[in-house]
Structure 1
Amino acid sequence: MSEATALLRLQEIDLELMRSKKVAQDLPQRAKVDAARAAVKKVMGELTKILGQRKDIEIELQDLEEDKVYFADKVTEIQKSVSDGTYRDAQNFEAALATLAKRIEKAEFDSNALLGQLETVERAEKNARDLVAKLEAEEKAQSDSFKTDVESIRAHVSELAKEREGVVAQISAQNLATYDAACKRFGGIAVETLVGNRPSVCRVALQPSSYTDIRRSNAEVTTCPYCKRMLVISKEDQS
């Protein structure tokens, strides 16, 4: 491989490395993973609130059940005291039972209302958990896909880097330094070829005198008089 050919190949490799880096940075799975994680965090926040609501309802239901048991025990106690003659205020027997019955009825009514609320909350909890599972599955799928693509890009970059070492070894230190400086200046497009009498990048036609001088120099690599990039001259251009 001639030095001129090595320079052109070096530029191809470096441009491909730049493209690979850009592709890795712009992989769509990255944004999808972030979106899924953010969504999971948001749903988990809502789920925490739902669990708090369910706990409050369950505590209220437990309290009501205890009230119903207490009122039922009081009814039994009054009925027993009347039957064995120990209930002192027999005149208020019916009123006491009626009051207890109302309290039991209210506790039952409140329990039914809370059971309806509990059903709604439990349904919301199930939906939230299902959504979290779905989002976590999506996050894993996108994360796995991202890792696969990144590994593929890394393998490609590794091959290019290995080839680059061999190509660089065929370029003189002076030309390599010129190439590196031109890469920084021109964003990676450091080398151009001569197509007829026009450099392939800047496309400004060489003056006849410049073209003649280049042909006579027999150099494979020179500098474009216009854009100052490295200009590769093929043997056909020199014939």
Structure 2
Amino acid sequence: MSLGSDLIKLQETDLELAKLGKQLGSLPIIDELGKKRAALTKLRAEATRLLAVRKDAQIAVDDLDEGERACHEAVDAAQARSVDPSDCRAMRDLEEELSNLAKRLERIEFDRPEAREALAAAEERERKLADYIKRFEAAIVEDTRSARDQASAIQAEIDELSLRRSHLFGRLPEDVQELYERSSKRFKGLCVERIQGNVPTVCRTALQPASMDALRHATDYAECPYCHRIIVVNEQE
């Protein structure tokens, strides 16, 4: 394989490595995963909020139940007290106490359906969100597995091309290695060009007869007099 052919293949390999590196760093599924994880954080925050709402609703129901129990105990205690029927004031106080307890029990019965309805609604919202989060987390796990597979496939290509690059670069003379590295950095990876007729394939500036004559005397490569890239003049395998 000629030096010129090695230079062409080295540049092609470097360009492919750059392309794969960019693909690896910007996989669409990686971006989607980031968005989904951010969304999951918000969903979990909403789940925490709904948990607090459901607990408050449960407390409201429990308070009504506890109030009812306390009222019934107070009624039983009042009815168990010995009151002299001839003591009008004591009888009036007892009747007023029992009347107040009855009103409290009525209020509890009035408030209970709404409280239970609020609790049931809170439990349903919490359940639905929990189910959705479970499915959402499963989708993230699947996407993570897919992203890992895609990244592994690209990395395998990168590893293979890196070995190829090392082999090609190692075959170049030291001065050509330095020239290639310097030119590749200067021209952002596109530093080697072919010649088609009298026109270099990258800068596309037609060479003058004197420059073409100089190329004919070059062994494997020369420098473009216009853009100063490396022109390969012998690409034989």
Q: What TM-score, normalized by structure 2, do the two folds share?
A: 0.91
TM (norm. structure 1) is 0.90
Give 1:103's aligned residue.
104
Q: What is the DSSP-based 3-state SS (H/G/I as helix, E as strand, rest coil) of the residue aligned with 1:231?
A: strand
The structure whose RCO (Cα within 8 Å, separation 6+) is larger is 2
Partner of 2:54: 54
Query: Hey, what does 2:178 align to over in structure 1?
Result: 177
Partners of 1:45 and 1:124 in 2: CA distance: 14
Residue number in structure 2 paired with 1:64:
64
Q: Is the 8 A contact 2:2 2:235 kept in 1?
A: no
Quote how far apart the aligned CAs of 1:76 are. 2.4
Residue correspondence of structure 1 range 61-210 to structure 2 within 5 A:
61-81=61-81, 89-210=90-211
Distance 1:109 1:159 in 2: 76
Secondary structure at 1:169 match in 2: helix
**What is the one-letter code of the residue matched to 1:101?**
A
Give the corresponding residue for 2:232: 232
1:132 Cα offset (Å)? 1.6
Cα offset for 1:92? 4.9
One-letter identity of the residue aligned with 1:224: C
Would the aligned equivalents of 1:32 and 1:139 in 2 still touch at CA under 8 Å? no
Partner residue, 1:32 = 32
User: Structure 2: any 5+ residue segments left out of the alignment?
Assistant: none
Alignment RMSD (CA, Å): 1.9
Counterparts in 2 of 1:86 and 1:3: CA distance versus 1, 3 Å: farther
Residue type at the aligned position of 2:186? R
Separation (CA, whole Å) in 1 of partners of 2:5 and 2:11: 10
Letter in 2 for 1:102: K
Q: Kindly tell me: are residues 96 and 11 of structure 1, through their superposed partners in 2, closer, same or farther at Cα, counting changes over 3 Å?
A: same
Residue identity matched to 1:203? R
Deviation of residue 93 (structure 1)? 4.7
Which 4+ stretches in 1 moved above 6 angstroms? none
1:43-80: CA deviation from partner (whole Å, max 9, x where unpaired)? 11111111112212222222221110111122223334
Q: C-alpha distance in 2, partners of 1:31/1:105? A: 59
Identity %: 33
More off after superposition, 14-23 vs 163-172: 163-172
> Could you tell me how far apart the structure 2 residues matched to 1:235 and 1:123 are?
73
Q: Number of residues paired by the alignment? A: 233
Contact 1:193 1:199 in 2 (8 A): yes
Q: What one-letter code is carried by the residue in structure 2 that aligns with 1:147?
A: R
Label 1:51 to 1:199 Cα distance change in 2 as closer, same or farther (>3 A). Answer: same
The one-character-per-residue Cα deviations of 1:189-215 (angstroms, maximum 9, x if unpaired) are 010011111111111111012112211
SS state at 2:171 partner: coil
Which letter does structure 2 place at the counterpart of 1:64?
L
Q: Does the aligned pair in 2 maintain the 1:50–1:124 contact within 8 Å?
A: yes
In structure 2, the partner of 1:14 is 14
Q: Give the CA deviation at 1:163.
A: 1.1
Query: Could you report, residue by residue, the CA deviation over 1:122-172 in whole angstroms, capped at 9, with x for unpaired residues?
Result: 122112212222221222122111111110111001111111121112211
Residue identity opposite 2:180 in structure 1: Y
- Cα pair 2:5 2:234 within 8 Å, conserved: no
Structure 1: any 5+ residue segments left out of the alignment? none
User: In the aligned structure 2, how far is the partner of 1:5 from the partner of 1:59?
Assistant: 80
Give the 3 Å change call, closer, same or farther, for CA 30–86 of structure 1 in structure 2.
farther
Amino acid at match of 2:160: E
